[in-house]
């Protein structure tokens, strides 16, 4: 069986790592990189650190408005699919790269599998939400990370195509955490263990309006410990455009971190403040309290016992929320046991056998 993975944005490289390794020896695997993320720190460093084979194809589409970016990928991917002739296209998560690859596969009648299927925020303002819904409804095989995701797919009439496999980001996180036990990593900007918070902000709803971004930065600046703000390029460019200074009060600006450094920074922090889906989950799995600057989350399991708390419109409660008492210990494992990638490869091979392909 020949599987073609399509990736393009940072969280997808993390998800690709365990899949690439689990496929080895069991099926042929090709990788197409759309080039949605192209900076060294947003792309290459992940391939290097996580031991991902170099992409077989790179479209280099770069940034742009959503329609133009997605359209450029769609055109380029059609050519790649014609050349690669995969038995299955595997797409990851919810970015514009995911949607473009889903449409390209469906139009060419190539079976489509969606990894991280069934997540819902029920907020269609988020580009990720419509990308997910459209991709799920186009796909032939839905690889769901959680029971909640399985239920969402069933509610949308997609139960027959769904397989519960667990979460691949958990696979990578556990591997990197084990690595960090034997390898000391320095903390960025010389912050002291437990003496700082880790923060990332990049969602359009938080960055695109000058007043919203100003309020978020002011709230982070007023926190009681240094805030390592790991600045995504979108945040840097929009702050500049809005005439806002990132470095203010408690905020200490740091470039995006490579994955092992990120895990290390979160593990040693007093808490996380973010609008990222992946980081909320990583904080929960590492049992670090998280405050999420969004009105809802698709990773609802993280909200258990206040390990993750949502703060949205009323930012005046952010400082107290971040300082809240330590959550109740929990041994909940809603994201699987760190072996999702193997189950995904099993499901892909099984799907291929059943659908009558070699
Ligand atoms: C994308 C995903 C989002 C994911 C995020 C992770 C979509 C709709 N969104 O959002 O789900 O959580 O990636 O980071 O696909 N830029 C650079 N260098 C880069 C990449 C981006 O400078 O390597 C800048 C571009 O100028 C662009 C901005 O960042 O204006 C946004 O990039 P884009 O890939 O469109 O969306 P993200 O906000 O990164």
pLDDT tens, position by position, 182-235? 888 889 998 999 999 999 999 999 999 999 999 999 999 999 999 999 999 999
- Give the pLDDT confidence score for residue 356 in this predicted structure: 66
Homologous superfamily of the 176-322 domain (CATH):
Glycogen Phosphorylase B; (3.40.50.2000)
% helix / strand / coil in the chain, to the nearest 5? 45, 15, 40
Topology of domain 2-167+337-355, CATH = Rossmann fold (3.40.50)
* Cβ contact 142:117 at 8 Å: yes
Mean pLDDT of 253-282: 97
Q: Is 202 in the pocket of ligand 1 (CB under 6 A)?
A: yes
State yes or no: pLDDT of 268 exceeds 80.
yes
Active site residues: 202
* Binding site membership of 255 for ligand 1 (Cβ less than 6 Å): no
CATH 3.40.50.2000 domain locations along the chain: 2-167+337-355, 176-322
Look at residue 63 in the predicted model and tell me its pLDDT.
Answer: 95
Task: Check pLDDT > 70 for residue 108.
Answer: yes
Residue 190's pLDDT is 86
Q: Region 310-321: what's the mean pLDDT?
A: 96
Q: What is the pLDDT of residue 355?
A: 85
Q: What is the pLDDT of residue 184?
A: 83
pLDDT at residue 125 tops 70:
yes
Residue nearest to atom 39 of ligand 1 (CA): 234
**Token duo for residue 297:** 């989350």
Burial class (CB in 10 A: 0-12, 13-18, 19+), 244: middle
Ligand 1 pocket: which of 58, 59, 95 to mutate (most atoms <8 Å of CB)?
95
pLDDT in tens, 327-343: 999 999 999 999 999 99
Q: At what angle do helices 340-354 and 168-182 cross, to 10 degrees?
A: 150
9 lines ligand 1 (CB under 6 A): yes
Q: What is the pLDDT of residue 358?
A: 44
User: Which residue's alpha carbon is at the smallest distance from atom 33 of ligand 1?
Assistant: 63
**CB contact at 8 A, 127 and 208:** no
Q: Measured between alpha carbons, how far is 284 from 288 in angstroms, rounded to an integer?
A: 6
Report how far ligand 1's centroid is from the alpha carbon of 224 (Å).
Answer: 30
List the residue whose alpha carbon is closest to atom 21 of ligand 1. 37
Is pLDDT at 357 greater than 60 in this prediction? no
Ligand 1 centroid–CA 326 distance in Å is 33
3-state DSSP assignment of residue 199: strand
Q: Is the per-residue pLDDT at 305 higher than 90?
A: no
100 lines ligand 1 (CB under 6 A): no
Q: What is the mean pLDDT of the chain?
A: 96
Q: Count other Cβ atoms within 10 Å, centred on residue 285.
A: 22
Q: Are 269 and 263 in contact (CB under 8 A)?
A: no
Q: Are residues 318 and 291 in contact, defined by beta-carbon separation less than 8 angstroms?
A: yes
Does residue 95 line the site of ligand 1, with CB under 6 A?
yes
């Amino acid at each position: 069986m020949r599987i073609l993975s399509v990736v393009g944005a940072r969280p997808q490289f993390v998800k690709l790592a365990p899949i690439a390794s689990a496929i080895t020896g069991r099926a042929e695997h090709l990788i197409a990189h759309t080039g949605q993320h192209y900076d060294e720190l947003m792309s290459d460093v992940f391939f290097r650190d996580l031991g991902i084979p170099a992409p077989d194809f790179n479209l280099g589409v770069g940034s742009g408005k959503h329609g133009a970016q997605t359209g450029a990928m769609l055109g380029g991917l059609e050519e790649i699919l014609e050349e690669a002739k995969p038995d299955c296209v595997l797409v990851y998560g919810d970015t514009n790269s995911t949607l473009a690859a889903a449409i390209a596969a469906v139009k060419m009648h190539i079976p489509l599998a969606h990894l991280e299927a069934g997540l819902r925020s029920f907020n269609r303002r988020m580009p990720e939400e419509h990308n997910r819904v459209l991709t799920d409804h186009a796909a032939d095989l839905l690889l769901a990370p959680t029971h909640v995701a399985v239920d969402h797919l069933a509610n949308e009439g997609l139960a027959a195509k769904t397989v519960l496999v667990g979460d691949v980001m958990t696979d990578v996180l556990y591997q990197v955490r084990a690595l960090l036990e034997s390898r000391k990593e320095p903390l960025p900007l010389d912050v002291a263990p437990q003496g700082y918070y880790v923060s990332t902000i990049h969602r359009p709803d938080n960055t695109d309006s000058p007043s919203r971004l100003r309020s978020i930065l002011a709230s982070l600046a007023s926190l009681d410990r240094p805030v390592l703000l790991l600045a995504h390029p979108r945040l840097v460019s929009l702050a500049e455009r809005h005439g806002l200074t990132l470095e203010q009060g408690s905020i200490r600006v740091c470039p995006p971190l490579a994955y092992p450094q990120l895990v290390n920074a979160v593990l040693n922090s007093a808490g996380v403040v973010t609008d990222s889906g992946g980081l909320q989950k990583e904080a929960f799995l590492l049992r670090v309290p998280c405050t999420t600057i969004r009105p809802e989350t698709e990773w609802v399991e993280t909200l258990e016992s206040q390990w993750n708390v949502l703060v949205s419109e009323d930012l005046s409660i952010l400082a107290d929320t971040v300082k809240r008492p330590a959550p109740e210990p929990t041994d909940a494992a809603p994201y699987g046991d760190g072996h999702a990638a193997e189950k995904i490869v099993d499901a892909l091979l099984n799907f291929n056998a059943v659908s009558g392909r070699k």
